[in-house]
């Protein structure tokens, strides 16, 4: 290996901050990072309640963020990071590759999306790729992204037909809230929330949460 490459590899350390509520998976990630050349584990947190302070404290280069966490989930954390103007690289981690989570993660500024079953060596590759400006994704996730963006939604006036309460519900969906979290935020029952969502789907002429969120984002309802 040329000397300048060797020195570059030593000096270029990628700092990693983890948000993950599964302690076993967190330990596995930490061990993986410790054993990888040029990577450094900063800290781990089990939710995104103080995500901005955590990032300011540790100054990571790459954030590994689970989507489903208690208190404040990964989609909320991602949105908070981008709303603050911080452009840190964020790789989302999930056991799910369904299009709703993928779409929300990408639209809210994720740098990549990996399934937790991704082989360890591929996770390390993804961290390095993302740090250099890439957008690593598990193949099944990449397929979902292509499907979601192959037929762009057109801007329309349908958003204007929503009632104020339906508007609030849709905002919660855009922000990545679960039904339970949205109901609590709006102080309504789950049944009432589902009623509003059904009306939203009807008015926007969509059949899923990801389609509703897509229309909301394209109409700058964020």
Q: How far apart are CA 43 and CA 60, in angstroms?
A: 9
Q: What is the mean pLDDT of residues 34-56?
A: 94
Kindly report the backbone phi and psi dihedral angles of residue 82, in degrees, each rounded to the nearest multiple of 5, phi listed first.
-70, -35
pLDDT (tens digit, 9 = 90+) per residue, 127-140?
998 888 888 887 77
Identify the CA nearest to 214 among candidates 222, 183, 79: 222
Six token digits for residue 131: 């740090």
Identify the CA nearest to 75 among candidates 113, 131, 34, 128: 113
Q: How confident is the prediction for the chain on average, in pLDDT?
A: 84
pLDDT value of position 12: 76
Q: Is the pLDDT of residue 152 over 80?
A: no
pLDDT value of position 4: 44
- Judge whether 79 and 175 are in contact, CB under 8 Å: yes
Q: Which domains are delineated in the chain?
A: 3-149 (3.40.50.2300), 158-218 (1.10.10.10)
Of 109-118, 127-136, 146-155, which range is least confident? 146-155
User: Hey, CA dihedral for 99, 102, 105, 106, is it positive or negative?
Assistant: negative
Of 42-56, 88-102, 161-175, which range is least confident? 88-102
pLDDT (tens digit, 9 = 90+) per residue, 63-75?
999 998 988 899 8
Q: How far apart are CA 79 and CA 181, in angstroms?
A: 15
């Amino acid at each position: 290996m040329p000397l300048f490459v060797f020195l570059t590899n030593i000096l270029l350390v990628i700092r990693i901050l983890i948000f993950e509520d599964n302690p076993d998976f967190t330990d596995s990630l930490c061990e993986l990072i410790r054993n990888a050349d040029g990577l450094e584990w900063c800290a781990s947190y089990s939710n995104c309640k103080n995500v901005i302070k955590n990032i300011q404290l540790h100054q990571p280069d790459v954030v590994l963020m689970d989507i489903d966490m208690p208190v404040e989930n990964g989609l909320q954390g991602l949105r908070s990071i981008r709303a603050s103007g911080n452009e840190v690289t964020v790789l989302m981690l999930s056991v799910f590759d369904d299009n709703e989570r993928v779409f929300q993660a990408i639209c809210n500024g994720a740098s990549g999306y990996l399934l937790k079953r991704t082989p360890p060596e591929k996770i390390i590759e993804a961290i390095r790729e993302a740090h250099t400006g890439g957008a690593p994704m598990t193949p099944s996730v990449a397929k979902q992204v292509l499907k979601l963006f192959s037929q762009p939604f057109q801007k329309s006036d349908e958003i204007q037909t929503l009632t104020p309460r339906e508007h609030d519900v849709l905002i919660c969906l855009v922000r990545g809230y679960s039904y339970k979290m949205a109901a609590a935020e709006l102080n309504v029952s789950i049944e009432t929330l589902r009623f509003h969502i059904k009306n939203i789907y009807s008015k926007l002429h969509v059949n899923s949460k990801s389609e509703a969120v897509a229309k909301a984002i394209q109409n700058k309802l964020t």
